[in-house]
Amino acid sequence: MSSPSHDTDTPPPPAHVAIIMDGNGRWAKARGLPRVAGHQRGVDALRGVVEAGQEMEIDFLTLYAFSSENWKRPPTEVDDLMGLLRLYLRRELRELHRNGVRIRFIGEWRKLAPDIVKLIEDAQNTTDANTGLTLVIAVNYGSHREIVEATRTIAAAVADGAMTLEDIDEASFARHLHTDGIPDPDLVIRTSGEQRLSNFLLWQAGYAELVFMDVLWPDFTKQSLQQAVDEFHQRERRYGASSG
């Protein structure tokens, strides 16, 4: 699928957009439906946003699909979410690959059920050489744990003599995070009206613009994404410097 060129008057999109997809349960409850119905509609929204990201020529789109804290939910809901992940990978891989999307997973996904791990490995291997949008899916991900793991790895390298204390800086630390090779997000969107990061990309989002939207995730559309990007373009990104 070819992407349209940007208008000369239209600013380029943020290179990396990350989204905390929130509100599936509330969407279902408001309609008297089981929570799984909200998650199912959330998958439809996910599909539309990936298509919109391609059309808008966003380079990286990261989606918070399942946090390490989500294991605290009722087992039936966790099973439903894992089932939807299986279904998404089986149904969408061919189309994503055909459209040049590169798929990458972050988080402790290797601890999931063996069949899901195999699906994830297949998705990453199949699309690894693609040069279009990079779709990053955070599954069994928690930023605190990610940072602790990176710290342990670096400490072990120093103890073994593979690194020195002088080797440790922001760049070397970032290389030990799950997002190694992925640029930091420019824009982080959270749906459903909640205004917190919920342990998502805490290191990486240090200078991201945060946009909180009242729309519930199943109702999130291409227009919602465009609205968030438009707000992003209204921000002055100073990275700690004073404004001119």
Q: DSSP code of 8?
A: T
Cα distances (Å, whole numbers) of residue 141 to 17, 107, 124, 194: 17, 4, 17, 19
Active-site residue identified among 59, 70, 130, 199: 70
User: Nearest-CA neighbor of 150 among 167, 183, 173?
Assistant: 173
For this structure, is 70 an active site residue?
Answer: yes
Active-site residue identified among 22, 24, 80, 186: 22
Q: What is the 3-state secondary structure (H, E, C) of 197-222?
A: CCCCCCCCCCCCEEEECCCCHHHCCH
What is the C-alpha to C-alpha distance for residues 152 and 15, in angstroms, rounded to an integer?
Answer: 30
Cα distances (Å, whole numbers) of residue 237 to 83, 170, 210: 40, 20, 11
What is the C-alpha to C-alpha distance for residues 143 and 103, in angstroms, rounded to an integer?
Answer: 20
User: Nearest-CA neighbor of 124 among 132, 111, 135?
Assistant: 135
Q: Which residues are catalytic?
A: 22, 70
